[in-house]
Structure 1
Amino acid sequence: MPAFVPDLPVILAFAVAAFILTITPGPDMALQLSRVINYGRAHGFATLGGAIAGLIAHTSLAALGISILIVAAPTAFMVLKISGAIYLLWLAWQAMRSGGGLKLAGPAKRPPTLKESFATAVGINLLNPKVVLFFVTFLPQFVTAGDPDAPGKLFFLGGEFIVVSLPFTVAMIYGAEWLAKAFTSSKWVERALNWSFAGVFTAFAATILLAEGRR
């Protein structure tokens, strides 16, 4: 197996986290559903392409920055991992206290072009502070200080995130009207997803803090 491929337990654990994050409502999902419902599936796929471009940018920046920390400042890398665990707990708390309510935008006076839908999705993904912090604080939890293959593993995990999210996102585009109705008319659906999100990320945070505490 190539050195840049993480161990199977790491791949599976990250896949669970990626899937939970993907199905939890947020700005990217709201944009995609709005564009499909208002302008058709082509705009849904354009926003999906924009979101993927944003994720590639996040992965690249996080992987390069984290790799530098691992080599130049191992103590700072450890602090980053602990801060990431605390951030995951905060995300879990926010998810549990969130009342839900996915807000879908109505049609604009001038329909956007496919390029505009793509660019809007890139902007929303890149400027979403939760996405930025997620990649900066969550990806480091799956590599260790001193690992010479950490950069490759971080890029692998970023690619895995995209692969895991694609089936649900494509299905969401084809079933946009049904899914939008489920989210906007049934609070318990979004609440159940938020609690699932909270449970998974609380478990990750606890594991990280216990592991760092034993060192």
Structure 2
Amino acid sequence: MPDPHLAEADRFDPARTARALEDALRRFARPDRLAALLRSARTDPRLLGLSEVRPWGNRMVLHEDPASGTRLRLQHWAGGDQDPHGRPHNHRWAFASTILHGSYVHRLYGDVADVERRLAADGGPARHLVERTESVGSSYVLHPQAVHSATAAAGTVSLLLRGPSVGEYAVRLNRDLTAFAERKSGVASEARKERPERPFGTADADSLGALLSSLGLLD
């Protein structure tokens, strides 16, 4: 059933979309709702096809609302040096996120244009403007032009609700943080070596469900 909050998501109205995502995520994160979504998604071919097995963790899509262009994603972070989220980047969409277990160090750098201006002025490396630790119960919303990075503790579990795409690609800084050297347009545009290791299946979904149950996150 469509979530009434997601009907408010509008790619041309970032503030309205942010409110819709935040309100909907609060409902999705309830233990009873989360358990129902996991049960439904574990055998849904489309949602499993949108989910990913990555070296730095698994991402399972629990819900998709084609009318609004939103997706709810459960993320299990393995941590480690292979995680590209540790390098500053933005996204093609606004999103709301909350931590269900564990934590990560979250750095905010400003908008893409702001970061580019500072790099042009001083040559870099880019420096964050805010650093904070997102822990259990933390939640936040970022708009598509916001540049951030996240370095997760191994085993962290988060829930992310993304809005409709507003651009063709997102950008990521190079390793020395002096320039936006990468454009990212989703899995379909990734080079073969960058793509998920293997298809995400029901066994992966069940593994995530067992983990959440052991952590007391499901009803």
TM norm structure 1: 0.31
Over alpha carbons, which structure has the higher Rg?
Answer: 1
Q: Which one has the bigger helix percentage?
A: 1
Q: Which has the higher strand share?
A: 2
Q: Which has the higher contact order (CA 8 A, sep 6+)?
A: 1
The TM-score with structure 2 as length reference comes to 0.30
